[in-house]
């Protein structure tokens, strides 16, 4: 059965918009959408049950769940374990991300994320096993001063790059360009997930 990319994009956008228009009471989720494709070693897997049982996918989901657990505890040390030692997103390194998370936790409580995977591609790059995970989602928190639930960040079909370090998948960064004009001390979009 051939998939219509516009229809898939419409489904993902509809889901994202329904969450965006509803009161933000998102419970943390990392999900593989039904239309997800896994491409690994030139083999394409489209059956969701097979994808969900694949060891690479279960390991990727576990990595994001560990990051989510660290978010809920506001445990920066545990959260930083999600980042690859070679993390470099448009010049942001691990210390920069640690600083940003520290600021997030200073200003927001009950921080959580949503990740909806729509494509997963696993490749060998030199001696590294890498994954490109197309994801739609967001980062949410409760403003410390106003008590309002807010969207801190959101993304649509962003590609998350991960690398296998030892037994764990770690975050390398995202696809996308640095904004042409950004205020001093601001980070490029999506530096965290």
pLDDT-derived band at 178, boundaries 50, 70, 90: very low
The reply to whether 118 falls in a domain is yes
Q: Where is pLDDT greater, at 193 or 180?
A: 193
Across 75-90, average pLDDT: 90
The reply to whether 185 falls in a domain is no
> Does residue 90 carry a pLDDT above 80?
no
Q: By residue range, what is the domain housing residue 138?
A: 5-13+27-173
The reply to whether 189 falls in a domain is no
The reply to whether 74 falls in a domain is yes
The reply to whether 138 falls in a domain is yes
Tally of structural domains, the chain: 1
> Does residue 165 carry a pLDDT above 90?
yes
> Does residue 103 carry a pLDDT above 80?
yes
**CATH code at 114?**
3.10.450.50
What pLDDT was estimated at residue 91? 81
> Does residue 18 carry a pLDDT above 60?
no
The reply to whether 193 falls in a domain is no
The reply to whether 19 falls in a domain is no
The reply to whether 178 falls in a domain is no
Task: Kindly write down the DSSP assignment for every residue of the chain, as one continuous string.
Answer: ----HHHHHHHHHHHHHHHHHS-S-PPPEEEEEEEEEEEETTEEE--HHHHHH-HHHHHHHHHHHHHHHHHHHT-HHHHHTTB-TT--BTTB-HHHHHHHHHHHHHHEEEEEEEEEEEEEEEEEETTEEEEEEEEEEEEEEEETTT--EEEEEEEEEEEEEEEEETTEEEEEEES-PPPSS--TTPPPS----
Least confident of 23-27, 81-85, 98-102: 23-27
């Amino acid at each position: 059965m051939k998939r219509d990319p516009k229809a898939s994009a419409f489904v993902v956008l509809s889901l994202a918009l329904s969450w965006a228009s509803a009161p933000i009471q998102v419970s943390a989720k990392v999900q593989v959408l039904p239309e997800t494709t896994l491409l690994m070693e030139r083999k394409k897997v489209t059956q969701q049950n097979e994808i969900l049982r694949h060891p690479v996918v279960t390991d990727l989901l576990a990595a994001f769940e560990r990051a989510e657990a660290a978010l809920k505890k506001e445990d920066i040390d545990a959260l930083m374990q999600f980042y690859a030692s070679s993390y470099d997103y448009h010049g942001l390194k691990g210390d920069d991300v640690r600083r940003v998370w520290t600021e997030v936790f200073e200003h927001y409580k009950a921080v959580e994320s949503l990740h909806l995977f729509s494509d997963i591609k696993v490749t060998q790059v030199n001696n590294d096993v890498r994954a490109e995970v197309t994801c739609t989602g967001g980062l949410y928190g409760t403003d410390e001063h106003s008590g309002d639930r807010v969207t801190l960040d959101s993304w649509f079909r962003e590609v998350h790059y991960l690398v296998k370090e030892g037994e764990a998948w770690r975050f390398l960064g995202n696809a996308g360009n640095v904004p042409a004009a950004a205020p001093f001390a601001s980070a490029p979009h999506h530096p965290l997930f």
